[in-house]
Amino acid sequence: MPLRLPRAGTSQVVALVAILLANWLVSPQFFDIRLQDGRLFGSLIDVLNRGAPVALLSLGMVLVIAMRGIDLSVGAIMAICGAVAASLADSHALPVVLAAALGAGLLCGLWNGLLVAVLGIQPIVATLILMVAGRGIAQLITEGRIVTFTSPDLAFLGGGSVFGLPTPVALTLGMLALTLLIVRGTALGLMIEATGGNPRASALAGIETRLITVAVYMWSGLCAALAGIVAAADILGADANNSGLWLELDAILAVVIGGTSLFGGRFSVVLAVVGALIIQAMNTGILLSGLAPETNLVVKAVVVLAVLLAQSPRLAGLGVVLRRSRP
Amino acid sequence: MTPASPSATSRPIARLMPVLATTAVFLAGFLACSMVFPNFASMRVVMNLLTDNAFLGIVAVGMTFVIISGGIDLSVGSVIGFTTVFLALSIERWGVPPLTAFVVILLLAGLFGAAMGATIQYFDLPPFIVTLAGMFLARGASFLLSTESIPINADFYGELAGHAIRLPGGARFTVPAMIMLAVVAAGMVLLHLTRFGANVYALGGNRAATALMGVNVARTTVLIYTLSGVLAGLSGIVFSLYTSSGYSLSAVGVELDAIAAVVIGGTLLSGGYGFVFGTFVGVLIQGLIQTYISFDGSLSSWWAKIATGLLLFAFIAFQQATVHLARRPRLGAAGASRP
């Protein structure tokens, strides 16, 4: 297992390094990192910090996609959980706030999981329901306003630092370690890959596919809740309309760039996070280069197409033929 | 062949069940609204319902074809946005006559759809991700053209937008509404009465079997996405007529409304089953929710989202239930057959 990952991830890591180098070319101070007030500052740290929400989302999304599912609702879940956290922040202690927000995320995930696993609804549709209704629910919680708060405890999660790292980055690293521990430290990852590869055969082999499906959607909900809390803590408020808007697409993109197939099966948690960093490094690079931010989407589309074509089964077949011709 | 005829005569009704249910919900909803608001049941409200949702209806017809064939098209909202910007720029800045601009943008949108269809078909890639890239590309391209809202002042636009058949009660049957009804009618003919329509259903049922049957799968797939692209372009034209402007951020998220309308209309997202008429009613139901909220005045717009979500859930649960019932051993069907 440790041998497989680096080899499979070469192209993603090369892409990330190439984009970072390109950023360095347009902005020579890109790799400068300085320590100030016990916190690291610099463009590179900024990429990590800004990329944290999508990276968190991709941690849940990668497992969902590995099960041949998709979770369109994560952006809406971010909005709901951010709204919950922001509206409770000034009146309750931090543990209560976190428990409520994370609980809301788990509940959303449970709803998605039950629709997919028990009612047998297609994942795209099942999560579309919450994607459409979720933002309405979030606005219901905030009563249509942008709820702001002053609680320093919650604000720490967005703007504070742990061992010099911004809290969102530390949180993402922690969740990455936790996810790896759960899926690779146990047989769970194997079961997820088996279920994504062939649900029927996995069920016949004795895997509790329904239970795993529900658990995976709940994990995705939890990750989205954390991302929502971070996003709310970052701006000291919850904007039900815009928090996490279209981030589900970025998260799916991160997972696909990370080499996980939308048709389920083999997945890589680490590479999904690398995918999220690639997206953020591109965004930052375009901002640094002074190009109009409008070019961002076009560049993104081109990168997605390039990654897709590189992964295309047809082209892979071509690659095998080429490789065979020169041993 | 004779033993099959009783079930064949009883099955069309079972097949139409989802569409009938959707229609019943729309009529019940309209009745309920009329009871709450005395002025609701008027030609004017009905005509406004058609005009306000014309662009959604047009694009949802294309989405119906895509979804019945087992695919999905996330790019349509961005294509609408691109179309409005392109029209505004070409008519106002580049001095292109409006009709020429219409033809050019329909061709462009069709080519764009065809390119996505070809990518999906020839590289064997999931439609979700390919059309997602298409969504970024079209939206990004419209940002590149212009980020500001450009008014369209051409006389032709004013005439077209003002042109309407006047009906009793101050109602106006507008050009966008006419275009939508024509597209819905044409879509029904194309889907239900032509060989292309039959191929679309076959593709959604089983791709491999369809190919073995001798259907040109590649051509059909490309044509389906071309159709969706052209209709998105047409929808963009109607949208620009409706707003008399072009804006790169217009119609964000319309693809989701269109998918929701298709699902509410009873089309299975797994493909192989669905009706254009159901989609049309699905669009009207979404419009009805909006109209109810604007009539009420005190309800906030977020209730529309929650109501749409609940409706989506109700219809999908209903579909799931009918699919499960259909898969059961046909005890009821056997008992119902005539002696």
> Looking at this predicted complex, what is its ipTM?
0.81
Hey, are the CB atoms on A308 and B129 less than 8 Å from each other? yes
What CATH number corresponds to the domain at position A56? 1.10.3470
Residue B297: inside a domain, yes or no?
Answer: yes
d(CA A291, CA A311): 29
Residue B208: inside a domain, yes or no?
Answer: yes
Residue B125: inside a domain, yes or no?
Answer: yes
Does residue A160 sit in the same domain as residue A115?
Answer: yes
Does residue A108 sit in the same domain as residue A140?
Answer: yes
Q: Which of A125, A130, A315 to mutate to test the interface with B (most CBs of B within 10 A)?
A: A125
Answer yes or no: is pLDDT of B129 > 90. no
- A304 at the B interface (CB within 8 A)? yes
Domain limits for position A97: 4-291
* Count of residues making up chain A: 327
Does residue A259 sit in the same domain as residue A310?
Answer: no
Q: Measured between CA atoms, how close is A94 to chain B, in angstroms?
A: 29
Q: Which amino acid type is present at position A275?
A: G
Per-state percent for chain A, helix, strand, coil, to nearest 5: 75, 5, 20
d(CA B124, CA A315): 10
Does residue A247 sit in the same domain as residue A230?
Answer: yes
Q: Model confidence over B187-232: pLDDT tens digits?
A: 999 999 999 999 999 999 888 888 888 889 999 999 999 999 999 9
**Domains contained in chain A, number:** 2
Instruction: Give residue B335's pLDDT.
Output: 38
d(CA B175, CA B155): 15
Does residue A321 sit in the same domain as residue A207?
Answer: no
Does residue A189 sit in the same domain as residue A323?
Answer: no
Average pLDDT, chain B: 86
Q: Measured between CA atoms, how close is B126 to chain A, in angstroms?
A: 7
Mean pLDDT, to the nearest integer, of A33-42? 81
Hey, are the CB atoms on B136 and A131 less than 8 Å from each other? no
Q: Which amino acid type is present at position A190?
A: L
Average pLDDT, chain A: 87
Element (H, E) at A237: strand A237-238
Does residue A272 sit in the same domain as residue A325?
Answer: no
Q: Measured on CA atoms in the order B216, A262, B283, B234, is the torsion positive or negative?
A: negative
A41: three-class secondary structure by DSSP: strand
Residue B331: inside a domain, yes or no?
Answer: no
More confident residue, B67 or A298: B67
Query: What chain B residue is nearest to A73 in terms of C-alpha separation?
Result: B309
Q: Quickly state the pLDDT bin for B337 (edges 50, 70, 90).
A: very low
What CATH number corresponds to the domain at position B205? 1.10.3470
Hey, are the CB atoms on B125 and A124 less than 8 Å from each other? no
Residue linked to tokens 């990370």? A258
Does residue A180 sit in the same domain as residue A321?
Answer: no
More confident residue, B308 or A138: A138
Domain limits for position B282: 17-30+40-326
Hey, are the CB atoms on B259 and A139 less than 8 Å from each other? no
Hey, are the CB atoms on B259 and A122 less than 8 Å from each other? no
Chain B CB contacts of A296 under 8 Å are: 140
Does residue A167 sit in the same domain as residue A311?
Answer: no
Residue B242: inside a domain, yes or no?
Answer: yes
Instruction: Give residue B250's pLDDT.
Output: 87
Residue B10: inside a domain, yes or no?
Answer: no
**Domains contained in chain B, number:** 1
Residue B72: inside a domain, yes or no?
Answer: yes
Does residue A227 sit in the same domain as residue A311?
Answer: no
Please, which residues bridge with residue A115 across strands? none
Chain B CB contacts of A115 under 8 Å are: 313
Answer yes or no: is pLDDT of A291 > 80. no
Residue B5: inside a domain, yes or no?
Answer: no
- A118 at the B interface (CB within 8 A)? no
Query: What chain B residue is nearest to A120 in terms of C-alpha separation?
Result: B320
Does residue A273 sit in the same domain as residue A303?
Answer: no
Does residue A125 sit in the same domain as residue A171?
Answer: yes
